[in-house]
Amino acid sequence: MIKALVFDFDGTIIDTESAWYAAFREAYEQHGVELSVKQYSQCIGTSLCNFNPYEYLMTDLSLPIDREEFRKAVQQRHSELMEAEEMRLGIKHYLDSAKAAGLKIGLATSSSTAWVEKYLKQLGLREYFDCIRTADHVKNVKPDPELYLQALDCLGVKPDEAIAIEDSPNGSKAALAAGMHCIISPNKITSLLDFDPSLYRVACFTDLDFDHLTTRLFETTQMS
């Protein structure tokens, strides 16, 4: 029986990820460097350990760029692009439906608490979440399962009683490693990446009825 939904944030609730890629790609182009989706994908849904787009031009390519000016320019461009972004379709319905059904609602994200809280307040969603776990709460972010395991413990549910709502390969890997059910709805950028073929995938959250998601989609798995 499903007792909880645990949402990813960036790219899932609102598509901050496509805006980040666009901002970095434009900044790289100004210095004559192409930033591919494949290269940038190393930091989507996880930390900047494998690829730090703020540092790469200076550290790996040795370009004479002022780090602070570069960072500010990218962040300013991201803010401009985000002005046109809205909550992804279907998310509000899932949240309202989960509340009405008495399900617990969690959020597990590799981003910082300050980043997430800012957007949740802007979107009017903060009150929906019974538990929030961010990069500030764990030693290892996604694809490590630590974020999801902490969220499950906080919500008081077993892994097979919860569904992770994700958009990225790193996020879905974390959810599966935690033993959870998982559905994915990639955004413009993550739709170009490779996912575990066993995952249930929808183009938009509105394509999957909430009642079907919580009572029938994983019925076979629950009974086995």
- Which CATH number covers residue 51? 1.10.150
Are 122 and 218 found together in one domain? yes
Q: What is the pLDDT of residue 220?
A: 57
pLDDT in tens, 143-169: 999 999 999 999 999 999 999 999 999
Residues of the chain with pLDDT under 70: 220-224
Same domain, 122 and 195: yes
What is the pLDDT, as a whole number, of residue 46? 86
Q: Residue 119 is encoded by which pair of tokens?
A: 């957007």
22 and 123, same domain (yes or no): no
For residues 33-50, one letter each, b for 16 or more C-beta atoms within 10 angstroms of the residue's C-beta and e for the rest, the string is eebeeeebbebbbbbeee
Domain co-membership, 210 together with 101: yes
Query: SS3 for 154?
Result: helix
From the list 16, 41, 47, the residue with the least C-alpha distance to 139 is 47
Q: Do residues 158 and 216 both lie within one domain?
A: yes
pLDDT of residue 223: 41
27 and 123 fall within a common domain? no
CATH number for the domain harbouring residue 150: 3.40.50.1000
pLDDT in tens, 63-85: 999 999 999 999 999 999 999 89
Do 198 and 98 fall into the same domain? yes
Other Cβ atoms less than 10 A from the Cβ of 200: the count is 14
**Domain count of the chain?**
2
Claim to verify: residue 90 and residue 11 sit in the same structural domain? yes
Q: Write out the residue range of the structural domain in which residue 33 sits.
A: 16-82
Same domain, 112 and 33: no
Q: Are residues 113 and 201 in the same domain?
A: yes
Contact in structure between 170 and 143 (CB atoms under 8 Å): yes
| The model's pTM | 0.90
C-alpha–C-alpha distance, residues 195 and 203, integer Å = 13
Is-contact 155 127, C-beta < 8 A?
Answer: no
CA distances from 151 to 129, 132, 136, 165 (A): 11, 7, 13, 13
Residues 175 and 95 occupy one common structural domain: yes
Same domain, yes or no, for 160 and 61? no
Separation of first and last alpha carbons in the chain: 12
Catalytic residues: 8, 10
